[in-house]
Each structure stands twice: as structure tokens, then as C-alpha cells.
Amino acid sequence: MKLAIITLSSQGARVAGLLAQAMPEADLYFHNTVKRPARARRFDAIVALSRKIFRRYEGLVYVCPCGVVVRAIAPLIHHKLTDPAVVVVDVGARFAISLLSGHEGGANALALRTANILGAEPVVTTTTDAAKHLIVGVGCRRGVASGQIVAAVGAALRKVRAKPQQVRLLASADIKAKEQGLIEAAAQLGISLRFIASDEIRATPRRFQRSKFVASKVNLPAVAEPAALLGGRRTQLILRKTILHGVTVAVARENCL
């Protein structure tokens, strides 16, 4: 996906810089009042810039207020099958919002990728994704094969009498962000993969089973259960951590009011 990252402020430039480190393929656009790194391009007005680049990129990540982006792209929107994916991130890097072309254009996936980089909350509102209500937390050893994870997730879902189509996310700790078997398993299952920041796992008041073994290995109190709980909103565990096919899994249901 050909990407552009756009920001208006010095606060946004810090966030954009973090994204650029993990998205080396992306072009950077900084407002001319922002101190510019060598690789960033300058612009004067976000409306004019948006008009200029809207059709040049498959994905646009704006690090600025949502209302500003809406006004900038509103005259440019044509059709969900041709418009680029648009994601908005606040300058505090708290939320990554899938704003335009979520499903067909890839904004949902781009929002999740952005959130994983920043440790932010991905915000996806398309009905097909929001209607899914299960989060599967996964903890695995280094180098685990994707087939083992796929088998473990399938076995866990059978235990709670659920189907893969009901799963919104697989979730794990950010220390597993480069675990190829986990990445491949998510792709094989056709389920998005979210990584929860280690600091968030350590700080959460949510109750889950803690593991001295995990703490000794990766300096975390646990992985599967807190990842399942923190991967969604208003979650409740419906399958406690269970070792299946050599992989630790837990399942949480969202929207438990």
C-alpha cells in the first residue's frame, strides 16, 4: 500500500515520526510551521494538500484533529471502491480511527497497523467488523509454527462453541509483534492481529491468572488472558488460559455490560 503520513503540529510530528520509522515506505508531509526532518515534504494548507495527494496514495494517515480531516477530504470523496483508506490519529497517539474506505479500501487494517505501532486503540465502526464479538488472546513460545496456532485457536473456539467468523481480533503482547508464526496464523485464519503494549498489560487492573513462568521469561504477568481482555472493550473471559497444541490461548467476549 502506497502511504502518506500528514501532520500539522509539532506534537503530531513526534507521532508521525514514530509511524515513519515503522512505515519506511510512507511519504511524510509536515506543515511548514513544523521543524522538518530531511525526508519530510512541506505544505501550507491541509485542504490544498489533500486535494493534491488524495488520488496519489492508497492510504493516508492524518495525525491531527478528526474534524480538520473531514473538512479537508469531504469534497474529494467519490466511492468506497476507489477512495483511498483514510486513518486519523490524535496527537496524543491514543486512538487510530478508520475514517474512510474501512473495509474495501483497507482503512480498518491500516488503523490496526497504526495502532499496533503506537500502542493506540484502533477504532473501527464498520458493521461487519463491529458485529464480531470475540477476542482470542494468544501466548506462544518463540519460533512456534503457524499451524500450531491455527489449530489452537480452532480448538479454543470449539470449546466455547464459536466459529472463526465471530472473532474480531487475535491479540497478543507487543513483544510478539515480529513472531512470524503468529503473523502467518492470523493471515491464514483471515483474522486481524492486535498487539497490546507490555506497559498496558503490567498496569491494567483487570483480573487474570498470573504466571511466574511467563514473568521470568518475558517480564509480563501473563499474555493470553490480558491480551484477550485488553484487545476489546467491555470484555469478559469465557475461556480461561488453556494450553492447546503447545500454544496458550484465552477467549474473551466483548460488550459484556
CATH number at residue 66: 3.40.50.11220
In contact, 22 and 46? CB cutoff 8 Å: no
How many of the other CB atoms lie within 10 Å of CB of 149?
A: 29
In contact, 137 and 249? CB cutoff 8 Å: yes
Question: CA 13 → CA 5, 18, 30, 69, 210, distances in Å?
Answer: 10, 9, 7, 16, 38
Model confidence, pTM: 0.90
Q: 20 and 100, same structural domain?
A: yes
In contact, 169 and 122? CB cutoff 8 Å: no
pLDDT tens digits for 88-137?
999 999 999 999 988 888 999 999 999 999 999 999 988 888 889 999 99
pLDDT tens digits for 202-236?
999 999 999 888 888 889 999 999 999 999 999 99
Q: 110 and 96, same structural domain?
A: yes
3-7, strands of its sheet edge to edge: 40-43, 27-31, 3-7, 59-63, 85-89, 95-100, 121-123
pLDDT band at 28 (very low <50, low <70, confident <90, very high): very high
Q: Is the pLDDT of residue 257 over 70?
A: no
Q: 220 and 195, same structural domain?
A: yes
Residue 182, classed as helix, strand or coil, is helix
Residue 256 is predicted with a pLDDT of 64
- Residue finishing a domain among 128, 148, 175: 128
Residue 249, classed as helix, strand or coil, is strand
In contact, 221 and 215? CB cutoff 8 Å: yes
Report the CATH number at residue 200. Answer: 3.30.420.180
How many of the other CB atoms lie within 10 Å of CB of 167?
A: 21
Terminal-to-terminal C-alpha distance of the chain: 38
What is d(CA 65, CA 86) in angstroms, rounded to the nearest whole number? 13
The total number of structural domains that make up the chain: 2
Domain range spanning residue 211?
132-253
Strand ranges in the chain using DSSP code E only, listed in sequence order: 3-7, 27-31, 40-43, 59-63, 85-89, 95-100, 121-123, 134-139, 167-173, 192-196, 236-244, 247-253
Q: What is the mean pLDDT of residues 163-189?
A: 95
Q: 143 and 110, same structural domain?
A: no
Dihedral angle, C-alpha 238, 219, 94, 127, nearest 10 °: -30
Question: Which own/partner pairs from 22-29 qualify as long-range (CB within 8 Å, at least 24 positions apart)?
Answer: 22/117, 23/117, 26/61, 27/3, 27/57, 28/4, 29/4, 29/5, 29/53
User: Residues in the chain, how many?
Assistant: 257
